[in-house]
Amino acid sequence: MADFISGESLPDYKILNWVAQCNRRIVRPLDSSERNGLSAFEYGWKAVNALYKPFAGDSETKKLRACLDTYLDGEVFIKRAKADIFGLCGDFLSDDLTIPPSPADAHDTALQAKRYAKSLKAALKNNNGKAIYLLAHLLYIVRNARVHADLYMGSSAMVSASGRTIRKSPFHHLPSITLELCIHLLCGKTKASRPAIQKLVKARTDQLLAEIKSNLAG
């Protein structure tokens, strides 16, 4: 608490807990379902969702954009997360990721994700300010696909078009990108420094790890 000064506000505990749940799965994934990155992403996105929900807009994506415009320094965030974002684009654009012919929703979602990944990669290379919006939309596509089970490329063992087995999840860059996004948004909302927010996230993450250790011991 001492890291917070006048004019700064503590983040909502529920949001902070979701960010810590995301971080915990990065620090110590418990099984294959957590190692592929989707579980951590889901918890991080709960926090993002809670942050943009109060904004005005006639669609979820417009609310999300308004939240980014209000709380996020897009240039600073992109600079910090650029390597992981490039990695995420590469995963979606890889020839190893085949587009499922069916069901139709999964086919359309995969195509849409690939299109956004291609545009995002180009925007990153050109230092285009629209990169943050393209990334947010790509993350939103993945979130919707996960909720509606339209995208099933996230297993820890996939078979490529050539028939060889790939052990790396195409979503392994998602957790770190989403965690960084959450931290930056919380900084913008609370006016607190990045180290102060990181300290809070780490403290709650340590609590979660201690609870796991206690449960395993008991």
Residue 171 placed within a domain = yes
Torsion angles phi and psi, residue 56, rounded to 5: -75, 150
Residue 105 lies in a domain: yes
Evaluate whether residue 108 is within a structural domain.
yes
Provide the domain limits for residue 164. Answer: 13-217
How many angstroms separate the CA atoms of 56 and 144, rounded? 20
Is residue 60 a part of any domain in this protein? yes
Residue 146 has pLDDT above 90, yes or no: no
Q: Which two tokens stand for residue 117?
A: 């990944």
pLDDT band at 167 (very low <50, low <70, confident <90, very high): very low
pLDDT band at 131 (very low <50, low <70, confident <90, very high): very high
**Is 190 domain-assigned?**
yes
What's the CA gap between 120 and 183, in Å, rounded? Answer: 21
Residue 1 is assigned to a structural domain of this protein: no
Residue 100's pLDDT is 60
Mean pLDDT for all residues in the chain: 84
Number of domains in the chain: 1
pLDDT digits over 72-123, tens only? 999 999 999 999 999 999 988 886 665 666 566 667 777 888 899 999 999 9
Residue 3 belongs to a domain? no
Residue 8 domain-assigned (yes or no): no
In single-letter form, the type of residue at position 141 comes to I
The predicted structure's pLDDT at residue 42: 93
